[in-house]
Amino acid sequence: MLEKITNVMIKLSQNRYLRAVRDGIVATLPLIMVGSLFLIIAFPPLPADWGIAVWAKANAATILLPYRMTMFIMSIYAVIGLGHSLAKSYDLDPVSGSIIATIGYLLTIMPQIVGEVWAIERIVDGETIRVIVDKGTEGAVMLQKGLGFVTPMANLGSAGLFVGMIVGIISVEILRFTTKNNITIKMPDSVPPSVARSFEAIVPTLLVTLLVSTIVYWLKIDVHGLISIVVKPLVSATDSIFSVWLLVILITLFWSFGIHGVSIIGALARPVWLILQEQNAAALAAGQAVPNVAPETFFQWFIWIGGAGATIGLAALLAFRSKSEFGKALGKTVFLPAVFNINEPIIFGTPIVLNPILIPPFILAPLANATIAYIAISTGMVNKLVALPPWTLPGPIGAFIATGGDFRGVILNILLIILSIVIYYPFFIKYDSKLLAEEKESH
């Protein structure tokens, strides 16, 4: 059964479209990491009456502008990366692919007309000023009419990610169809290649523009609303403790057989994880309650401490408690990488792969971490995760940043490290004793 599941998951992870989605999302990670840091600057974890906190509150709108132009509109960057990756997989021009995919995505967003601005006059310090108000306010007069179009930014963020993925893929497929069937404008060989590619992209660009604009502008179909209805149950389910348990079990099982579990499961789960993360960040920026417990950072800083399987516990035991020569040498090698969440040395060095002694704690430790962390965060004992620090930071530091500067996150991370040591301990004793016996026999 495991072999069949593994084959299916590997095929899914190697799917052309899923690879393109993965590449697009991975391309946004630097923007998300940098953008989320401005959330912490705008809402510093300091007493409200401190000077820095007062300054941050007064200037929050300006401080958050880099966040709003990076993480807040991450879907547009993801579509650019998706279009580039998918076009490249077809040996098409990647730049044309990314541009056409982005055009298709932007056309799904209905611009809104800002029609009127109303104001009332007030006297402040002897000077008459105009204050913008809602239409219908007593004494209000119209300042300006017909200002033009504005683009709603909400659908450029996580809310539009699935629409961007679908439309981006369709747009590149149209590019592939026209190229494969020579439905393009061909230029003479003397024309520079960059100019020739631009003319070749005219027909697919026209087809994408006509298709999407007809659906959105003329048929008045709200594609974002429709996709939201379909995706909402999936997003909600992914944020449940049952989903967290399932993902932990699948990832650790794959690793137990030498298959990179996060690469396979992450290719499928990461789009939803990213939506959960951006919703948390957007809620914090808007001054609202942060909604989600289990974006990918929840796994990173409270489950995969030291790497998949919470192997920081095993690494510490090998480094400081091992009696066998092999265990001592291995502990010196694997402990420092584990501090920075790199655990391939310990997974393949002990090895954990196909090891009946170490596989049980490799699954049990992250399950225990997940359960305790979920309860702690969902009940408000620890802040929910709003930032995306680099995954190579030591656990307590990453947990502090990810929770928006909550020291309780640091305490929780340390307690979970201790818990992983406790869970691994009896299995480590048996494993180390086995190594010691083998070494005595060899001598």
- Run means of pLDDT, 10 residues per run, the chain, 443 residues: 65 81 88 88 83 88 90 93 95 94 94 73 70 74 66 84 94 95 84 81 95 94 90 87 94 84 80 91 89 94 93 94 91 91 89 89 96 96 93 93 93 97 95 89 75
In a domain, 10, yes or no: no
Q: Say what the pLDDT of residue 258 is.
A: 76
Between CA 170 and CA 102 the distance in angstroms is 11
Range of the domain at 281: 239-442
Contact criterion met (CB below 8 Å) for 256 and 363: yes
Between CA 203 and CA 214 the distance in angstroms is 16
Q: Say what the pLDDT of residue 89 is.
A: 94
Q: Domain boundary at 194, 217, 232, which?
A: 232
Give yes or no: residues 253 and 365 share one domain: yes
Q: Say what the pLDDT of residue 228 is.
A: 86
Q: Say what the pLDDT of residue 416 is.
A: 97
- Number of structural domains in the chain: 3
Q: Say what the pLDDT of residue 125 is.
A: 61
In a domain, 13, yes or no: no
Give yes or no: residues 189 and 225 share one domain: yes
Give yes or no: residues 303 and 431 share one domain: yes
Give yes or no: residues 162 and 185 share one domain: yes
Between CA 148 and CA 113 the distance in angstroms is 5
Q: Say what the pLDDT of residue 133 is.
A: 72
Q: Domain boundary at 232, 265, 282, which?
A: 232
Give yes or no: residues 212 and 64 share one domain: yes
Model pTM?
A: 0.80
Q: Say what the pLDDT of residue 147 is.
A: 58
Give yes or no: residues 160 and 89 share one domain: yes
**What is the DSSP annotation of 288-303?**
-----S-SHHHHHHHT
| Residue 134, CA distances (Å) to 119, 122, 138, 143, 286 in order | 8, 15, 10, 12, 21
